[in-house]
Amino acid sequence: MKNFIEELLSVNDKFEENTKKGMSDINIFEALGVEYKENYHSKFIAYLIDPHGDHYQELFANEFLKKLGRYTKAKKFKNLTAHDIESVETEACAKDNRKIDILISLKDKRYIIIENKLYAKDQPNQLKDYIKHIKEKVKNIDDFHENILTIYLHKNEDTEPSKYSLGTKNGFKINDDLIYDSYDKKMSFYLKLDYKWIKEWINACIGVCENKVKNNEIDKKFKNDMQNVIFTLNQYKTLLTWYVAIDDYVAKDYVMEFLKSSKENLNNAIKLKDESDSKDIKYKKAKEIVEEKWDEICKELVSDFFNELEKEFEKERTICGIKWFGCKLDEKRVNYDWFDFYPKIYEDDGNDVWPSVGVYFRKSDYSGFGLTFKMNYLKNKKIYNKCIKHFQKSNVEKSDNIRRSGDHYYYNKFENFNFKEKYAFAYWLIENYGEWTKKFCEILKEFLDKNTIKSALENINNELKPNK
C-alpha cells in the first residue's frame, strides 16, 4: 500500500503540474453525456456537411465530398462540391415512418443515405426500406441505382450490414460496391465507412481552418470566431479518440490511467476509499484523490466492460449449445438492460419478434447486477403474445432462483455476489479485472442452464423457428 500511495501521489503531481501549464481533459460533448449516442453524432456530422449552415460548413462539406470521391466507385458521386448539395437532413422520414440517420440530397436527383451504427442493433429490413424509399424519387431515371449511394457507417471497420437489415424475405444483397435486390437488379452503390474515416475528415477540416488563419485569409474581427470553430472540431476529434476511433488513443487523465493499470491498483483504491481516515498526510491525500475519482472509475470500468463484451460477441460464441451474438444498447437507459444477447438463428430473422438475454445494473449506485430473459417485438404483437404464453408463472422452478417481472423472467442472484451492496457491480469488475469475458460467460452459462430459461427458450424457438 505504501508504494501504491507514493506512485499515486507522484502521478497526481504530474497531472496537476500539466493542468497548470494548460492541459485539460474537459470536453463539451462528454460533459453533455452524448459520447455514445449515435443520434447526436449524426446531428453533428450532418451539421458540418450542410453548406446552408452559418459557420464555414461549405469548407467542411467540400472536404467531406472530396474524401468521399476518393473512396467511392460511383461516378456520379465523384468530383462533388458543396454547391451540389440541395439539403442535409437527420432522421429523414422513409417507409412506415422509419428514419434515415443522415440523408444528403444532391441536385439532379442524387442521394446519399448514411446509416450510422455506433451501437444500435440493425433493424429488420432497415437498409432495404431506405433504398426502396429513395428509389421512388429516381424511378423514372435510367440506371437509377447510379443516383443512390448508401453508406454504412460503423465504429468497427470490419462490420457490414446484417441480412436482418437487408431483408431476408426478398432481401437485398451486397456485392463489392453495389447493392442488388433479390432478382439481381442493381439498387444502389454501396460504401462501408468507419469512425476512423470520420476522424480523418475532421482532421482535414481543422487543417483547412488553421491554414486560413495562418495565411491571413480571415478578417481580424472574425479570427476569434474561427478559433472557436477549430476548438469545437478538436473537441469532437478528441471525443472520437477517447471513445470511438481509438486508433491513436491518448490518456486524458494520468491518475485514472494509473488506477486502471492493474487489478492491484484498483483493489488498493477500494481499500483507501472504504477504510477509515488516517492522520498520515500522504494517506489522507491519496484517499481524497481516490474518493474524488471513484465515480469516474466506476463509469470507465463499466464502459470498458461492455466494450469488451461487444468485441467478444460481435462474432458468434457458443454457450449451452446455442450460438449467440451480442450488442450494446442505448446508454441513456437508467435501470434497464445495457447489453443484449440473442441466438444466431434470429440474426437473419424475417420477422420482428425475437428472444434475448439482457445485462442490467442500477446505474445510480452500480448495484443490482443481473440478467433478464425477455421477448422483443417491433410491430407484430400477435406473434409476440403467442411467445409470451410460454412465460407462465407456474413454469418457474423454485430451485432456479428466478422471479417474473412483467412479460419476462429476470435473474438477479449470482453466487458470491451481493447485488444489494452499493457499488457491487464495480467491485465485481475489479475483482475479475483481466478476466471479464471468461467470468461473465460462466455467469451467462449458469443462467442459460436454468431449467426455467431452457424450457422457455426451447418453446419460443419452436414457436418462431420450428425447423431450427
Stretch 252-280: mean pLDDT = 83
Last residue of a domain, one of 198, 222, 241: 198
Mean pLDDT to the nearest integer, 131-135: 92
Which 3 state secondary structure label does DSSP give 314? coil
Which range, of 160-174, 188-202, 219-233, 239-253, averages the lowest pLDDT?
A: 239-253
In a domain, 240, yes or no: no
pLDDT at 225: 85
**Mean pLDDT across the chain, nearest whole number?**
85
* 414 and 327 within one domain: yes
pLDDT at 168: 66
102 shares a domain with 54: yes
For residue 223, report the phi and psi dihedrals to the nearest 5 degrees. -65, -40
Task: Tell me: pLDDT of 112 over 70.
Answer: yes
* 335 and 292 share one domain: no
Domain annotation covers residue 69? yes
Q: What are phi and psi of 327, to 5 degrees?
A: -150, 150
- 266, 297, 328 - which closes a domain: 297
pLDDT at residue 413 in the model: 59
Please check whether residue 439 lies inside any domain of the structure.
Answer: yes
| Interior angle at CA 156, CA 152 and CA 161, nearest 5 | 35
Verify that 418 and 388 share a domain, yes or no: yes
Can you give the residue range of the structural domain that contains 290? 1-25+253-297
Q: What would the pLDDT profile of 402-431 be if each residue is shown by its tens digit?
A: 888 777 787 765 555 555 678 888 999 999
Let me know whether 189 and 67 are in one domain: yes
DSSP letters for 45-71:
HHHHH-TTSSSSHHHHHHHHHHHHHHH
Q: Which of 295-304, 350-359, 409-418 has the highest mean pLDDT?
A: 295-304
Region 431-436: what's the mean pLDDT? 93
pLDDT bracket for residue 34 (50, 70, 90): confident
Q: Are residues 263 and 322 in the same domain?
A: no
In this structure, the answer to whether residues 90 and 45 fall within a common structural domain is yes
Closest CA to 240 of 90, 41, 65, 33: 41
Cα–Cα distance, 373 to 367 (Å, whole number): 19
| pLDDT above 70 (res 107) | yes
Which one has a higher pLDDT value, 343 or 24?
343
Q: pTM of the full predicted structure?
A: 0.70
331 plus 285 within the same structural domain:
no
> What is the percentage of the chain residues whose pLDDT exceeds 70?
89
Inside any domain, residue 151: yes
Region for residue 355 given its phi and psi (left: phi exceeds 0; alpha: psi -120 to 50; beta: otherwise): beta
Q: Which of 220 and 60 is assigned the larger pLDDT?
A: 60
Residue 216 lies in a domain: no
Q: Are residues 281 and 143 in the same domain?
A: no
Amino acid at 57: Q
Same domain (yes/no): 257, 350: no
Strands 110-117 and 148-154: parallel
> Within 13 Å, how many C-alpha atoms sit on residue 117's CB side?
24
